[in-house]
Amino acid sequence: MHRALQLAALGPATGPNPRVGCVLLDPQGRTGAEGHHRGAGTPHAEAAALADLAARGGSAAGWTAVVTLEPCTHTGRTGPCAQALVAAGVHRVVIADTDPNPTAAGGAQLLRAAGVDVETGVLAQRARSLNERWATAVGRGRPWVTWKFAATLDGRSAAADGTSRWITSAPARADVHRLRAEHDAVLVGTGTALADDPALTVRRPDGTDATGPQPLRVVAGLRELPADARLRDGRAELLHLRTRDPHRVLTTLAEREVRTVLLEGGPALAAAFARAGLVDEVVAYLAPALLGAGPAAVADLGVSGIAGALRLDLAPGEDAVARLGDDVRLTARPRARPAGERDPDPSHPPVVEEAARVHRDR
């Protein structure tokens, strides 16, 4: 299973599907074939491993499949993996984690009904961590939202005159592009789009676009974007959602199978998502500088007293606090609401109040 998890991690961190790895063991317990999922439309891990074995001239009859996620029962771009394992004659399947997707779940039950010996829960937590964002998005029916911002130690995203180039150091700015590459979509409001004219692409330190797929560029708001805006340059797909409602934004993105969203700006948009309870993780890049005045990193959260503060806990893992040049990156997650406290009512969502800002690191 450790090897299957290594294989799973080779798969893309973005896209509508989870990262899955599979190892096929012969009756003597020796590895005979391996496979992992390489992205939407490609064979799933189990099918890839079976194809690897077939290419070697082998048969999986009487073999054991070790897989990091419950084999699917769904026919989509590819066929159901549980059926493929049964058809191949696999006699035992060891599964790390169950599938939270109701459309694809039920593989373990199908395998058992076919007479296959099934064991679940082997290194389940490691497998769950590998697909945490995907599983959360599937379970909630809306994308995982990471809110990223850069600020001075006194919480300013720009100076009083609107300038912000550069608040953070080159290592921190490079890390933002790594973060973008880990998300399906990057989201800003029309205020930021008009004020900054951002590109919102994943770029190398020299400014050229990185290889590989670019995230979907999403703008939320009612105002029109200029014809010559950089967001219209064709370097990546642009989606303009003419709404200020965070719930409607995420519903539309979920319909497009977007699993992860990087919320980059501006402070009004961030506040709307935070007040709606739609932020899953906060990544803050803090520069050792003081401005004393200028736009804040986030707008009004509706907090009137310290008791109402939106509290966060550092994310699990050793890199929750990291030094990047002279800056510090903090990764934190909102605390679970106390028992009995209701989630924000989606029928009365906060909306984004349009506000221009300047944040040239786009």
pLDDT tens digits, 141-165 = 999 999 999 999 999 988 888 777 7
pLDDT at residue 354 is higher than 60: no
Give the confidence band of 361 by pLDDT, cuts at 50, 70, 90. Answer: very low
Mean pLDDT of 289-315: 90
Window from 45-59, 118-132, 260-274, 326-340 with minimum mean pLDDT: 326-340
Instruction: Please give the positions annotated as active site.
Output: 46
Window from 138-147, 262-271, 276-285 with minimum mean pLDDT: 262-271
pLDDT at residue 345 is higher than 70: no
Q: Where in the chain is the domain with CATH 3.40.430.10?
A: 142-334
Residue pLDDT, tens place only, 309-319: 899 999 988 89
More confident residue, 268 or 7: 7
Single out the residue of 154, 142, 139, 229 nearest to residue 192, CA to CA. 229
CATH assignment of 2-134, among 3.10.300.10, 3.90.79.10, 3.40.140.10, 3.30.300.160: 3.40.140.10
More confident residue, 351 or 106: 106
Phi and psi at residue 4, to the nearest 5°: -60, -40
Parallel, antiparallel, or unpaired for β 238-241 and 312-314? unpaired
pLDDT at residue 207 is higher than 90: no
Q: Where in the chain is the domain with CATH 3.40.140.10?
A: 2-134
- Which CATH architecture does the domain made up of 142-334 adopt? 3-Layer(aba) Sandwich (3.40)
**Cα angle value 92/132/100 (rounded, 5°):** 55
pLDDT at residue 339 is higher than 50: no
Single out the residue of 327, 321, 331 nearest to residue 282, CA to CA. 331
pLDDT at residue 349 is higher than 80: no
Window from 11-15, 33-37, 104-108 with minimum mean pLDDT: 104-108
Mean pLDDT of 126-139: 94
Mean pLDDT of 170-181: 95
* pLDDT recorded at residue 181: 95
Mean pLDDT (the chain) is: 89
* pLDDT recorded at residue 134: 94
pLDDT at residue 216 is higher than 80: yes
Share of the chain above pLDDT 90, in %: 74
* pLDDT recorded at residue 196: 86
Mean pLDDT of 19-31: 96
Give the confidence band of 4 by pLDDT, cuts at 50, 70, 90. Answer: very high
pLDDT at residue 343 is higher than 90: no
